[in-house]
Chain A
Amino acid sequence: MEFRNELVKICEQYPKFKFNFHYRNWETDFLRFYQSQINYNISKTSVSLSTTMYKGKKSYSFSLKNPIKAKLLEKIEEVKMIIDKLPEDPDFIDLEDDLTKSAEKEKINNIEKVSLDKKIDILEKLIKAIEPFDFKIYGTFICNYRTLYIINSNGLNKREICSPIFLEVKAVSNKNEVTVLETYGGENFNTFDVERFTKDLATKVEAATGEIVDVEPGEYEVVLAPRCIGDYLMYLESSMTARSLDTKQSFFEGKVGQKIFPENITITDDPEHPDLINFDYNHDGHIYKKLPIIEKGVFKNFMVDNYYGRKLKMKKNGAEGSGLVMETGNKTREELIGSIKRGLYISSLHYMNFINRKETSVTGLTRDGTFLIENGKLTKAVNNLRFTERISDIIKGISEIENRSYTIPSSSNYGEFEIYSAKMPHVKVKGFKISSSTRTV
């Protein structure tokens, strides 16, 4: 019998207890390259079961690798001996009870579709295109395939498949280490246009062959690449959860319905967006559908899961920020850059960390291509810079938004890691605070 069915049976077999099961089959094929050659290719497989067993408001959690029924039953018997001795969690009310199912689509296993040979062929093409500029490529080319079953004693029996592809290429100058970045992410490899990717990377490399300069700390008008605004929003997302309200760390506390950001800021969480890596359910197994987060500058909704929804008496919505989409504006990227007399173009961010989460203050650095804008043109590479700033102020400072947006993949990287994506345009920000220079690229 399929192990999933065994889990359903166990829920019925122990009526005095409630169970929450996450049964996962996960594999990755992970190519890492440097200096235009392979570093290593890793293949990993794992099968795991995460279980939380409840008796009233008491609970115990455990994980099993390669679970089999006998092992699971043995563990359940062990937990039965412990669980009565544990203190209650007075805030726990019940497990997820949303039985709504998505289409639970089948997905092609991209590990099989995009072989190591195929990956190497693509990378060789990229190398050829940038070699004349004396650059080499560094990066990762990942395919994952994961099937997750979420089963609980409230009748949930759901399946979600993810088959993401993530390609991140950094082209680094042999001469001075100036770096540019190009990425692809998605689940449908047919959307990967190798010619366009190669051309975009080569164009960036060509623009990065000039001299390197340093800039003084101070306030600058900047154009943030889609990846940067995506990063800031992902950090801010930790303030958009019901849990952040409970832990008193939310910037948005008491601000639902208030206009916080400029009129041009609209952000949704859309896990079904055709250009993104799609998810059917949140971690509880609640159906995960599009949700407005910020609409024309007004904060609309917290992301509410089962535990905190019940605890804080908020309506659960299953959102968890795995598909953030920012609405586009009406300017081209060239117009955004063209409108700046002296400013900066920032390609990517590095090592950002909160100073004060509730105030949204962070420090972090630029990476993988920071450029000086002079008289509306990218003129020189700039050493990486440190910013110390409130994310809320950065978003308040967005004056213009590009008229197209890009899929920005990111990897959670650890354990049985997931790959996520967001859809973001370039934005122009006024008064961006640079606090120091790193003096290196």
Chain B
Amino acid sequence: MKKLVYDIINKLDIPEVTYADVRFTNTDDQTVYFEKGNLKYFGSDMDSMALGIRVLVNGCWGFAGTTILTDASIEKTIKKAITNAKVGSRFRREPVSFKKLKPVKASYSFAPKEDPFQIDDKFKIDYHEKIAKKLVGNEKIVYSNTYTVFYRQYKIFANTEGTFVDSMVYDTMPMMYVLASDGKETMCRTWPGHMNGRRGGFEVVRNVKMEENADKIIEEAIKLLDAPRIEEERADIIIGGGHLALQLHESVGHATEADRIFGKEISYAGKTFIKPAMLSNFKYGSEIVNIFSDSTNEGGMGFHLVDDEGTPGANVDIVKNGILLDQQTSQETAALLGVQPSSNMLASFADDIPLIRMTNFCLAPGKGSLDDLIKSTENGYYIDFTKTWSIDDNRNNFQFTTEIGWKIENGKLKHIVKEPTYYGITPEFWAACNGICGPEEWEFHGTFHCGKGEPGQSMHLSHGVAPARFKNIVCNVKA
């Protein structure tokens, strides 16, 4: 396939094409899914190949993608990409332009400790069946499921600037869920929560210890049925890593995607409250808030040697000591903002057009353990495990509900509370951050399901976070 990509990029090295990139992906995935103790789905999508061609002609992008890799289809795809750009350029008022990058020639292959595609299927089924059987049997648990998605993707990237890179990565996403009912209402618990994707193979499944935590989530789901709700108008909240990853994702990650500044996502994902003039001076959070986009960390699903337009992986400060410094950018938007591209242009599959996407988008650790943070909290709540999330078109007003919370009194965890719900305005919320746990609590959480773009793409990405505390947050919202 390298030859195929090489041949196509050579064909595109013609005067009328200002820039072109070609990508090929071969993706495998496998899913094991048990529901109410029974295997409901076991299946795979192997050798799913795709090709994508993006060209810049007359200052306009044109793109064509296909999964049909015959000679005739490839020729048609090349022509279609060029035609889309040529015809489209009559509807382009400001031509796209950006600087050339130095070419990169490299290769990368992630080696999982346990390659899930080499492990016997029967073993994977038995492993999950054991967990699934533990989730049933209690009469108050009216529904349960457990599943894991295994994924690997081989990618070749080449552009007309001379970059040629291939890579292989493995990601895994395990989950279990129980729903308890007392006949009047229902309450759920998940493990390890909704930010459950990780770089790695079957070792990821072992690491989250689903079997060991099955009884715990059953007990908590049942207890939630009789638990009180938060009654205070406002409270200090400590947010656990799994949910904080989503808070960071929605209120900082998406807000600092530069395509939103220029309105490129208005038609679907939305805008951002950030304007170019805010860079280097806007107070995004308290002084302890440091946020960075790091595609150089191999531990996260956002690692890459180059992004999908050839920008080498980078670690870029987005918020430093509470001040907004930079954006996640493409070459095109970086040129418009007068900054260096941040290596955030990615597509889910080769037949998708690259978009500005989060990679490893992280909150830098502070100091101390979670125990220390709880001990230093006189009154408040420790909350975790996302249940509901929602944020506005400008990434300014958000409201989240977690599955469970624990009341903190005089530095100690007390009783649980059901469906803790809080609301905030992004910069005010991050300005209220007055404690972030240290490196010992910092870890990657992630998802396979970050949706963006049209046609939509679902991206794998990671967030490195440690639990953090936010003071005086509105938490009395009820439906």
Cβ contact within 8 Å between A440 and B93:
no
Residues of B within 8 A of A43 (CB): 63-65, 77, 80-81, 84
Q: Is there a chain A Cβ closer than 8 Å to B161's Cβ?
A: no
CB under 8 Å from chain A, chain B span 15-72:
38-50, 60-69
Most B CB within 10 A of own CB, among A87, A354, A364: A87
Cβ contact within 8 Å between B88 and A38:
yes
Q: How far in angstroms is the closest Cβ of chain B from A207? A: 19
> Would A89 and B40 be within 8 Å (CB), given that A37-B91, A390-B479, A435-B423 are in contact?
yes
Complex alpha-carbon distance, A384 and B393, angstroms: 8
Complex alpha-carbon distance, A178 and B151, angstroms: 42
CB under 8 Å from chain B, chain A span 1-58:
28, 30-48, 52
Residues of B within 8 A of A364 (CB): 390
Complex alpha-carbon distance, A364 and B423, angstroms: 12
> Would A359 and B185 be within 8 Å (CB), given that A34-B264, A353-B389, A440-B394 are in contact?
yes
CB under 8 Å from chain A, chain B span 338-396:
351, 353, 387-394, 396
Residues of A within 8 A of B181 (CB): 248
Cβ contact within 8 Å between A34 and B353:
no
Output the nearest chain B residue to A168 by Cβ-Cβ distance.
B267
Output the nearest chain B residue to A387 by Cβ-Cβ distance.
B479
Complex alpha-carbon distance, A39 and B268, angstroms: 13
CB under 8 Å from chain A, chain B span 109-138:
121-122, 125, 129
Q: Is there a chain A Cβ closer than 8 Å to B270's Cβ?
A: yes
Residues of A within 8 A of B10 (CB): none
Output the nearest chain A residue to B86 by Cβ-Cβ distance.
A116
Output the nearest chain A residue to B457 by Cβ-Cβ distance.
A414
Q: How far in angstroms is the closest Cβ of chain A from B97? A: 14
Complex alpha-carbon distance, A34 and B66, angstroms: 25
> Would A363 and B397 be within 8 Å (CB), given that A172-B263, A435-B477, A440-B273 are in contact?
no
* Contact pick for A85, options B44, B125, B267, B474, CB 8 Å: B125
Q: Is there a chain A Cβ closer than 8 Å to B399's Cβ?
A: yes
Complex alpha-carbon distance, A100 and B402, angstroms: 46
Residues of A within 8 A of B66 (CB): 44-46
Q: Is there a chain B Cβ closer than 8 Å to A260's Cβ?
A: no
> Would A365 and B397 be within 8 Å (CB), given that A33-B91, A355-B419 are in contact?
yes
> B200-208, B309-317, B448-456, B465-473: which lies at the A interface?
B448-456
Consensus secondary structure, chain A interface? strand
Q: How far in angstroms is the closest Cβ of chain A from B419? A: 7
CB under 8 Å from chain A, chain B span 250-269:
262-264, 266-268
Residues of A within 8 A of B270 (CB): 350, 367
Q: Is there a chain A Cβ closer than 8 Å to B163's Cβ?
A: no
Complex alpha-carbon distance, A96 and B67, angstroms: 29
Complex alpha-carbon distance, A144 and B169, angstroms: 32
Output the nearest chain B residue to A40 by Cβ-Cβ distance.
B61
Q: Is there a chain B Cβ closer than 8 Å to A117's Cβ?
A: yes
For A, the interface residue count at a CB cutoff of 8 angstroms equals 82
Cβ contact within 8 Å between B121 and A85:
yes
Residues of B within 8 A of A195 (CB): none
Cβ contact within 8 Å between B45 and A388:
no
Produce 1/0 per residue, B423-448, CB < 8 A to A: 10100000000000000000000000
Q: Is there a chain B Cβ closer than 8 Å to A439's Cβ?
A: yes
Cβ contact within 8 Å between B68 and A47:
yes
Residues of B within 8 A of A138 (CB): 263, 266-267
> Would A356 and B93 be within 8 Å (CB), given that A42-B353, A91-B38, A363-B399 are in contact?
no
* Contact pick for B65, options A41, A44, A168, A388, CB 8 Å: A44
Q: How far in angstroms is the closest Cβ of chain B from A75? A: 8
Q: How far in angstroms is the closest Cβ of chain A from B469? A: 22
> Would A365 and B392 be within 8 Å (CB), given that A43-B63, A46-B68 are in contact?
yes
> Would A34 and B262 be within 8 Å (CB), given that A91-B38, A116-B88 are in contact?
yes
Complex alpha-carbon distance, A30 and B47, angstroms: 26
Output the nearest chain B residue to A417 by Cβ-Cβ distance.
B455
Residues of B within 8 A of A41 (CB): 62-63, 84-85, 87-88
Cβ contact within 8 Å between B423 and A436:
yes
> Would A52 and B43 be within 8 Å (CB), given that A350-B270, A365-B392 are in contact?
yes
**15 A–B contact pairs at CB < 8 A?**
A35-B262, A37-B94, A38-B61, A41-B88, A42-B353, A43-B64, A45-B66, A63-B44, A65-B48, A85-B121, A87-B125, A139-B267, A350-B270, A353-B389, A439-B396
5 new A-B contacts, CB < 8 A, other than A60-B43, A87-B38, are A32-B454, A43-B65, A249-B179, A355-B419, A414-B455
Q: When A and B form their complex, which 5 residue pairs have the shortest distance between CB atoms, in order from nearest?
A: A61-B43, A361-B479, A413-B456, A438-B397, A63-B45
